[in-house]
Structure 1
């Protein structure tokens, strides 16, 4: 029978249309239409995975979501233990406790958390795009510290309010950093301008995980009530699982845009042997923990006045420079700047082409630019 047309639903289904006695018939390619099990799996995918999966998302989506789901589950259980401890600390079950005292403690905790959220967004908001992996991992570490403080607080009644307020500040930072870095990762995962769909399905996945955590918590609560030792042991185990899953989650992300860390890794390799690392290799080498060793500070988009103070400085800065930008130093090392210009002239264009061949996105970067821009005036005749 002649095949009139073929169609497919992403990589999940393929069908062909044939004419038989003047009637159009539809036949599944490679199967007879599926089974009940496949139908259930299909429904599950349509509910919890973005439309068009796997073509509509990045290649690291499934691995990241697996580890993210595991860390969310362990965090949900830890949160249950912390919530129980907080409620016990404010006087739930204690006849001598007053509603007013508990309410004041809760309001102070929420108030300090709000202030912490504003301050963190002001101080570190511009770093959340360029350092999404690192900030995501730091946020989860702070989340575990905050929950540990809440569990510890009832055992220190004198400092209870101070401890829960400090934990509230940490949790507010977690809220800002976690939400912002999640948005950055969603942008990376979206391959069909489907950020909203990915975000919505991520919310569905998280809700399902929290529901599972709630069911397990119903079993845990009777066991840990009035048993501080078991509470600490379980929290310690859940925290280890949470941190491990978070580490694996951020390590599984393969971003094709260059931030400062990935650019340094790629550029060092290129200057060493002329080879450009692909996104997979560079992402695996990218540090995801905070560095405490001293590094050379590099700032992009700074004020011209921070680099040039006199006409002599300007002449030295523009020597051998025919570019729209200016490389400068805060000390008198202009000879190094001149050598940098020569190196850029030699390697930049070949390096840029090699980046594109290796699979990097060069149309945008995550290099944490400041907003200062200079417009050079043409010299008068």
Structure 2
């Protein structure tokens, strides 16, 4: 705002109007000049640009791009493309499913179709509850992998719907399998989406990001349904064309999902990212950035690769956190007691090597920082087993010298060190150090 003053009293009052959700993206839209006898408004910028900016505000978070992480835009582009292909294929699979339950046939009964649809939905609901029970607490620890798995299960579910008319005798069974597969998708996709939204939010704007994603998904849904109906109409009566379109779109869907998760540079520490960071730090003394680690980490399930789990890239697979003490035999308990030394007087965990695997026993009073320290210590021990026979003492020495420096460098590189994203730790223990006195 600018005030033009005369020698004795104000003659003109000039106000500039600016528009924009972020102070770094403000655009002047008008200049208003008032005097005792008149008012003048001078517009700035084209009206088209103003309308376009208003429309864009319905689809991108407020303050974009400074309010979100740099990987937000490429991820959303690929995510919208995979969603578009999903809705197109959904029209093809739904058309086949409705035809299989008798829609359009005089011989079909309403009660029969209703029962089949109810049984399909019921199976999906039960499947979602079971999947949440077994894996719900583990989805945060590997959001990239579970997002790919979720979309693969969705593809499998739609494939079941498309296949179901080919096997009338097993129709209900196949349809229920498809619904079960999609129920896994709903749980995994929703949970990983929540984790990614928190990652994108730089200004505590997770709710705004989620809302704008809903707008993006709505547009993708409408366009996908329109194209899907057109494709279903064109390919009606041509099974080969239907299958060719479906399989082509499915391949593109999986490719788009893979590209989407590859765009992500998560700053949270999970088991694999911690392993990559630690190995590099032990070799060079430097910490990789989230962008560098995102290129190196594996986004596919380990069973999809032919590599051995003992590969250094998968060092985290040689660590088991939250071991149940009662599952250890007498010899292992003796070794656990013997290995506990002065280091454990301060630590809230115990380490036990067993057949190349490092087991972690967490103390019942341990907190998130203790879990992270225990896991990194176990990784150090697992890495040193191939070089030193006395890996226990060597790992203790390494932790005493380098652990605090590692944490400081991780924080300086943008990593969040408040906690380790790991599978739930169900079993904990309490113990008395050999140096403690018991009254």
Q: Say if 1:19 and 1:114 are closer, same or farther in 2 by CA, change over 3 A.
A: closer
Aligned equivalent of 1:94, options 76, 101, 105: 105
Q: Does 1:236 align with 2:247?
A: yes
Q: Say if 1:162 and 1:312 are closer, same or farther in 2 by CA, change over 3 A.
A: closer
Counterpart for residue 169 of structure 1: 180
> Is the radius of gyration larger for structure 1 or structure 2?
2
Q: Displacement, 1:309?
A: 5.2
Q: Does 1:104 align with 2:115?
A: yes
Q: Displacement, 1:308?
A: 8.3
RMSD: 3.1
Q: Displacement, 1:3?
A: 8.5
What is the rounded CA distance, in whole Å, between the counterparts of 1:18 and 1:84 in structure 2?
A: 57
What is the rounded CA distance, in whole Å, between the counterparts of 2:146 and 2:26 in structure 1?
A: 39
Output one character per residue of 1:296-325: Cα deviation in whole Å (capped at 9) or x when no partner: 442323444456858744531322424322
Aligned equivalent of 1:294, options 292, 300, 309: 309
What is the rounded CA distance, in whole Å, between the counterparts of 1:344 and 1:133 in structure 2?
A: 30
Q: Displacement, 1:14?
A: 5.0
What is the rounded CA distance, in whole Å, between the counterparts of 1:187 and 1:357 in structure 2?
A: 20
Q: Per chain length, whose mean CA-contact separation is higher, i.e. which structure has more relative contact order (CA < 8 Å, sep 6+)?
A: 1
Q: Displacement, 1:336?
A: 3.3
Counterpart for residue 405 of structure 2: 350
Output one character per residue of 1:32-90: Cα deviation in whole Å (capped at 9) or x when no partner: 73212211221122111111211221111111111111010000001111110110111
Output one character per residue of 1:97-142: Cα deviation in whole Å (capped at 9) or x when no partner: 2222222221221121112111111111122101101000011111
Counterpart for residue 379 of structure 1: 437
Number of corresponding residues: 377
Q: Say if 1:20 and 1:38 are closer, same or farther in 2 by CA, change over 3 A.
A: closer
Q: Say if 1:111 and 1:302 are closer, same or farther in 2 by CA, change over 3 A.
A: same
Q: Does 1:69 align with 2:80?
A: yes
Q: Displacement, 1:328?
A: 1.9
What is the rounded CA distance, in whole Å, between the counterparts of 2:40 and 2:267 in structure 1?
A: 40
Counterpart for residue 164 of structure 2: 153
Aligned equivalent of 2:278, options 251, 267, 289: 267
1:319–1:338 contact (8 Å) kept in structure 2:
no
2:144–2:299 contact (8 Å) kept in structure 1:
yes
What is the rounded CA distance, in whole Å, between the counterparts of 2:229 and 2:324 in structure 1?
A: 58
1:257–1:362 contact (8 Å) kept in structure 2:
yes
Q: Does 1:252 align with 2:263?
A: yes
Q: Say if 1:16 and 1:167 are closer, same or farther in 2 by CA, change over 3 A.
A: closer
What is the rounded CA distance, in whole Å, between the counterparts of 1:42 and 1:16 in structure 2?
A: 12
Q: Displacement, 1:21?
A: 9.5
Structure 2 portions without partners, runs of 5+: 5-14, 311-316, 359-388
Q: Does 1:186 align with 2:197?
A: yes
Structure 1 portions without partners, runs of 5+: none
TM value normalised by structure 2:
0.78
TM value normalised by structure 1:
0.89
Residues 289-298 or 257-266, more deviating: 289-298
